[in-house]
């Protein structure tokens, strides 16, 4: 059902797909940040929670859009869960960077601008870790010919 759409998505350059997915997830994170801050939750905690919430749709969108060309048609549930755990683990690194940038910018800016600064600071690590580890291209197995006498 979705294969024709996924084939068209693959034609979009990967970096553009990454930016599109990142934009969607940034909106999700900033929406939750705005909502939680409006509930008088401390802003550093609100940013942390908003980031954590945005990670889950980020994985789904990353797997199905950004890295669609690296999807395995016969992935098992166990493999998918390992990818999800690896993605969440790499996002923890991005969370640390996000939170540091947020905390540094917050005293001099509106909390939503601080949220954007945190997102911007975490982008590079998120892309690099996803590209190199979570959604890495499968390693090619070289064929070895064996001569039989």
Using the predicted structure, report yes or no on whether residue 133 has a pLDDT greater than 70.
yes
Using the predicted structure, report yes or no on whether residue 144 has a pLDDT greater than 90.
no
Closest CA to 46 of 122, 98, 120: 98
pLDDT for 72 equals 83
For 12, 62, 143, the CA distances from 124, given in Å and listed in that order, are 20, 15, 35
Q: pLDDT class for 19, splitting at 50, 70, 90?
A: very high
pLDDT for 34 equals 98
Closest CA to 21 of 11, 33, 9: 9
Under a CB-based contact definition with an 8 Å cutoff, are residues 17 and 126 in contact? no
Q: pLDDT class for 40, splitting at 50, 70, 90?
A: very high
Under a CB-based contact definition with an 8 Å cutoff, are residues 61 and 29 in contact? no
- Name the residue ranges covered by the structural domains of the chain: 3-134
Q: What is the pLDDT of residues 83-110, one digit of tens each?
A: 999 999 999 989 999 999 999 999 999 9
pTM above 0.85, yes or no: no
């Amino acid at each position: 059902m979705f294969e024709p759409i996924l084939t068209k998505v693959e034609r979009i350059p990967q970096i553009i797909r990454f930016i599109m997915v990142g934009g969607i997830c940034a909106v999700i994170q900033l929406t939750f940040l705005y909502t939680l801050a409006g509930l008088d939750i401390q802003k550093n905690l609100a940013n942390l929670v908003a980031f954590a919430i945005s990670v889950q749709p980020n994985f789904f969108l990353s797997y199905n859009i950004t890295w669609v060309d690296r999807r395995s048609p016969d992935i098992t549930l166990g493999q998918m869960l390992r990818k999800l755990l690896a993605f969440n683990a790499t996002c923890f690194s991005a969370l640390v960077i996000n939170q540091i940038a947020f905390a540094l910018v917050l005293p001099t800016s509106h909390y939503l601008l601080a949220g954007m600064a945190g997102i911007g600071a975490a982008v590079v690590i998120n892309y690099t870790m996803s590209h190199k580890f979570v959604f890495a291209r499968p390693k090619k197995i070289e064929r070895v010919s064996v001569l039989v006498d």
